[in-house]
Amino acid sequence: MKTIYNSIREEVTKHSKVRNSVLGNVKEWKRSHYIILSEIIKEELSESEELKGKKKFEIGNTISHVTLQRFFENDYQDKTHNDLRFLKTLDKICIFLGYRDLNSYIQSVKELRKENHQESDQEFLTQIVYNYCATVFEFYKEFPNHKTLLFKDLVFDDSPFLERASQFSKELCDRDFQLVTKNNRSNYEVFDIHLVTDEPDKKVLESQEFWNLLFKVGETGEEHFVNQLNTQIYFIRKIDNVWKIWDNYNPDAGRLNKKN
């Protein structure tokens, strides 16, 4: 509950009526400031639809400056949660903030945290794809050196994807492929990444990718082009509490390995 108390306190200070009053310019509130806050809350509660009926008589529509100062400055203990007067005070503060009551506020906070957690997970997974593509480009720049260790933090060592990608790329390195990067001749872009499957230990992401690459073969100077826009699927798994890529579907995988 302490987290909820802190959240309520923070929202009160951010309330437009509070922020636009003299309180908005004061970092540390004193007794006189809580008197002002009490008046602001009283004015808002007097116009609240939530307190138009019998609820007004049940919990009242004012909060004394003493009670407000105590709420903002005290470190409440668990036993306080069952104090009816204290709960009524929290109900009124939450109504001031635009909620039906304390329970409504708590539910709203839970939903917001859940949404933020989901957004955070989505950003994390999306970043894995971005990081992987950036690493692939760096991997190509190392050709004909075959540095698969670059993928260690992004792809599971025993994954079918790493085995397959390693086989394809090793063949190109053996043929002395070298990526041309001068004047930005080779480049790539990743966009429109979205979550397709969302399970506790498995996520599937789909991305649109554009790869524009030019490879030259060492001694002969023979040129090989990649110019493709495609949809790729990433299968990301959680193993031993670590998220990494387990597999990938690329419709153009192995194209350069097909000798003319």
Specify if 107 maps to a domain.
no
Examine the domain organization and report whether 191 and 235 are in the same domain: yes
- CATH number of the domain to which 147 belongs: 3.10.450.240
Examine the domain organization and report whether 217 and 249 are in the same domain: yes
- The answer to whether the pTM exceeds 0.95 is no
pLDDT by position in tens, the chain (length 260):
557 888 999 999 999 999 999 999 998 999 999 999 999 999 999 999 888 878 888 899 999 999 999 999 887 654 455 578 888 999 999 999 999 998 898 888 888 877 766 667 788 999 999 999 999 999 999 999 999 999 999 999 999 999 999 999 999 999 999 999 999 899 999 988 999 999 989 999 999 999 999 999 988 889 999 998 999 999 999 999 999 999 999 988 888 877 55
Specify if 8 maps to a domain.
yes
Of 180, 241, 251, 163, nearest to 216 by C-alpha is 180
Q: What is the pLDDT of residue 118?
A: 65
Q: Residue 138: what are its φ and ψ, rounded to 5°?
A: -65, -35
Examine the domain organization and report whether 96 and 132 are in the same domain: no
Q: What is the pLDDT of residue 52?
A: 81
CA contacts within 13 A on the Cβ side of 66: 0
Q: What is the pLDDT of residue 74?
A: 82
Cα–Cα dist 245/228, whole Å? 22
Examine the domain organization and report whether 170 and 60 are in the same domain: no
DSSP 65-113: HHHHHHHHH----GGGGG-HHHHHHHHHHHHHTTSSSHHHHHHHHHHHH
Of 110, 151, 76, 109, nearest to 8 by C-alpha is 109
Contact 146, 219 (CB under 8 A): no
| Cα distances (angstroms) measured from residue 187 to each of 24, 205, 226 | 50, 22, 10
Query: Residue 207: enclosing H or E segment and its boundaries?
Result: strand 202-217
Query: Residue 222: enclosing H or E segment and its boundaries?
Result: none
Cα–Cα dist 106/246, whole Å? 39
Domain that holds residue 29: 2-100
Cα–Cα dist 187/180, whole Å? 10
Examine the domain organization and report whether 76 and 127 are in the same domain: no
Cα–Cα dist 31/53, whole Å? 32
Query: Residue 10: enclosing H or E segment and its boundaries?
Result: helix 2-14
